[in-house]
Chain A
Amino acid sequence: MLEIKEFLRSRADSGELYYQSHENVILRFEGWKLKKSEVKESAGYSLRVQKNGRIGFSGTTDPNALDSLLDKALQSAELGEKITLDFPGAAPSKELELFDEKIVNYPYASLVALGEEIVDKLSPLKNECELKIDIGLTRYFEEFQNTSGANFAIKGTLFDISLELTKMEEGDVLIVSEFISETHINDALSKLPAAIENLRKKYNLAKNIVKLETENLPVIFHPDAVMALLLPLLVGVNGKNVSAGASPLVGKIDTQIFDGKLTIIDDGTVPRKPGSTPYDGEGFPKKPITLVENGYLRNYLLDLLSAKKLNMSPNGAASRGIFSSPAPRTSNIIVGEGNLSTNEIFSAFPKAILIEGLLGIGQGNIISGAFSNPVAIGFLVENGQILGRVKNIAIAGNIYECLKNILAISKEREWKYGAYCFPYIMLDNVSVTGGKNG
């Protein structure tokens, strides 16, 4: 990469130069066959500068436009916000094993064979449903320098597999899916048999549709659906929303906001996980951030700007891209384990609703804590056994009320979407509508 001070040629008082490149191979299987293959390469630079106490930003993917990158960032700084950020100096970080040489060298033909193997395993279902598989392989590289001495170069890899079965009948469409995302190919491949088995199991259970006689039942959120409960919180702890005064969590540090069973950590330092990174987007070494500890709010996610506005210290939660200025963002979100097994949770009540998939997560006024979602995949659980799928129901509530009283959190946790480690969560204060008419 270019040397930052040389690049700025004293035209700015301070700055950060960031380079990012991605190479992806993506295979799409559709209609039980390989349909398309994509090779993607993208690379670009972004520059944040400070001049006369103001901040400017510009990004480009045009490798021949680096001179205008500086000009544009300086123009932006003429009008930019008047605030001084103290860029960090050099600091060591933890080795996180995010790069897998095997992924880089994985033969294209083996990717095709892998997809065909999955197709083969699920082919007994060929007459009743459709299958879509995406297999993606990513190699990325990031480089960063600021004028205070912080710098990093990170290389990483990702191996993603997504599986989706769709069954259509007049009046009923069933879509079940599984997703694996790992930095190492062996981690992904070792999870594949279980993912295929889960998909098949979920699909078979869902084929049986049962009627919900009463809506007044406890709700068990499967790890796949826990995001509906956590997203309002993650928006609420984002330093950008806190410093703007828009979060309900302003001034709530060290107060109890949730049930004592709930602990949530943002941990970007878990080795070999896609949400991990040794440094944040502003050059701070990554460290675990406890967001909620036994129900008590402990920290926000802060970048330099939000920390400055709040008169707090940045905690390494900045994320940046080629076209986006640094801003706080989650890394890996880990919910602490509970004290009941999933079997105990399933049998805790004579009847319960298990929710595995929701539509419209993130829609609406979520910063207020409100959620309201149609259930895409939900099951009726009776005496610890999944009886069948319930249709046409919806859940609603507000996390700042619902999570004050949690019936149970499971001991078992599952990594979802590469960066979320979630347990099962059981609540009895979520509003369920629609079942009786379904």
Chain B
Amino acid sequence: MKDRLLNAIKGKNAYVEVRIERKETSRVQFRGRMIDELSANTDLGGFVRALVPNGGWGIATFNRIEELERRINEAIELSRSIIPPEPIRLTPVEIVQVVLKENLKDDFRNYSLVQKKELIENYNEILLGYNSAIVDTSATYYDSFSKLYYANTDGTYVEKERADCGIMLVAVAKQNGNIQQAHEGRTSRVAFSDLKGLEELAKGTAEKAFQLLSAETVKGGRYTVVLDPYLAGVFIHEAFGHLSEADHVYENPRAMEMMKLGKKFGPPELNVGDDGAIPSLRGSIYYDDEGTPARRNYLIKEGILVGRLHSRETASKMNETPTGNARAQSYNHPPIVRMTNTFIENGNVPVEDIFSDIKEGIYACRAYGGMTQFENFSFSAGYAYIIRNGRVENLVRDVVLQGNLFETLLNIEAIGNDFIWLPTGGSCGKDGQLAPVGMGSPHIRIRNVLIGGK
């Protein structure tokens, strides 16, 4: 494949990059007692992106790999059709030629579909068997193995594999028309065996859905909020991480001003970064989809904005260094700037002290997901508790945290010392593309957070 790709792009008077991807997936999903989906799929396709001198981006995607040469010419033609007022430039990066194998300790491809089905069926039975209030479940096992080939006219060639397997468990409890649900997940890029022995997790999921039936809806207002590491991870990803993606600001002078390096963003204890080079985490990519090596990028250090995430184009435009964050969902999409594994670094406050002097607050746990629109964010807790006089008390539901990023980061009051990388699998949506991302954080405490409700 290496010669095929490098030959195809040779001698073009343009920057050209090509990506070929082949992905095999399997999925077993139970819904209640029935198998809702049991499938095995193959996805194969190619991507070409071209940039002629003084032109714009021309892009072609396709399924028939034999059409590669024709598609390269098509992308070059499109690039020629665009005349941007300012030329698009790409900051040079180190030229590499690498072949990376996924480091699998217990390869899911060595397990039969029967074994995968048995694994997830067992968890599904635990969810369903918890008690009669659990009326519905969704229990999914999935895996995917991709082989990616990338080459560009600078001479870079990256061949890499990506393996993912995981489970997703949802329990739905119902009583007198009240419906509540709880969900949990585990993912691994290393071992099928990481998904074994999770019976307690399944039981806990059903238990939480059942408990939520008797939880009250949260009363709306402003609260001091403690986020568990799961929600803190989603928070830093949603509320801050997206703003640090340079493509949100590089064409916008006012946004650049707002995200000026050196600006105070949080308390001195706050350190935030993104790292796509850590082995085998969910968002680890090693090389991005422009062939730039991934690395650790600090975004906030001691409360001060010190960096942002870049592609080669945004780095050039802002006169900064490419960070290895140009990622594409698949062959069907161009690379865009996005996070890999985003984290709040460990603090030094013991977890028990985080709650100690809160008179009335919310302890928000797990995450349904989040959304951000530049500085404004919204994210939903899976469940939450009322904190009274330093004690975590009754369960509440429908907790959606919202606010303005700039205010909220400055309102961080404490950072715990219990950092974890989240074992749940997260995917981030941006510009119509989904990408697997990792998140990590300790418990954190934020004052004056707006929570919608009655």
Contacts and interface: CB of A to CB of B under 8 A. Distances in A.
A80 B82 CA distance: 51
A395 B403 CA distance: 13
A47 to B, nearest CB: 10
B256 to A, nearest CB: 9
Interface in B10-59: 22, 25, 28, 31-32, 34-45, 56-59
A39 B59 contact: yes
25 contacts: A34-B56, A34-B84, A35-B56, A35-B57, A38-B78, A65-B42, A69-B42, A75-B40, A76-B40, A83-B34, A109-B81, A112-B82, A130-B252, A166-B374, A240-B31, A244-B32, A245-B32, A246-B135, A359-B376, A359-B377, A360-B370, A363-B371, A364-B398, A431-B453, A433-B221
Interface string A360-400: 10011101101011101000000000000000101110001
Interface string B154-172: 0000000000000000001
A394 B402 contact: yes
Nearest to B31: A244
Contacts of B370: 360, 363
A30 interface: yes
A322 B23 CA distance: 14
Interface string A68-86: 1100100110111101000
Contacts of A168: 252, 254-255, 258, 374
A396 B450 contact: no
Contacts of A38: 59-61, 78, 334
Contact of B450 (A34, A75, A109, A433): A433
Q: Is the interface of B mostly helix, strand, loop or mixed?
A: strand
Nearest to B398: A370
A114 to B, nearest CB: 14
Interface string B390-407: 000000011010111010
Interface of B: 22, 25, 28, 31-32, 34-45, 56-64, 74-75, 78-79, 81-85, 113-114, 117, 135-136, 172, 174, 177-181, 217, 220-222, 251-252, 254-255, 257-258, 332, 334, 368-380, 397-398, 400, 402-404, 406, 450-454
A166 to B, nearest CB: 7
A170 interface: yes
Interface of A: 30-31, 33-44, 55-63, 65, 68-69, 72, 75-76, 78-81, 83, 108-109, 112, 130, 166-171, 173, 175, 240-241, 244-248, 309, 322-323, 325, 359-360, 363-365, 367-368, 370, 372-374, 376, 392, 394-396, 400, 431, 433-434, 437
Interface pairs A-B: 3 shortest CB-CB: A36-B57, A394-B452, A246-B136
A317 to B, nearest CB: 16
B179 A61 contact: no
Contacts of A376: 373, 376
Contact of A394 (B41, B78, B136, B450): B450
A392 B450 contact: yes
A39 B252 CA distance: 27
A373 B179 contact: no
Contacts of A325: 37, 39
B59 A359 contact: no
A12 to B, nearest CB: 15
Contacts of A434: 220, 222, 402, 450, 452
Contact of B452 (A42, A63, A365, A395): A395
A374 B402 contact: yes
B221 A394 contact: no
A323 B265 CA distance: 43
A433 B401 CA distance: 12
Contacts of B254: 167-169
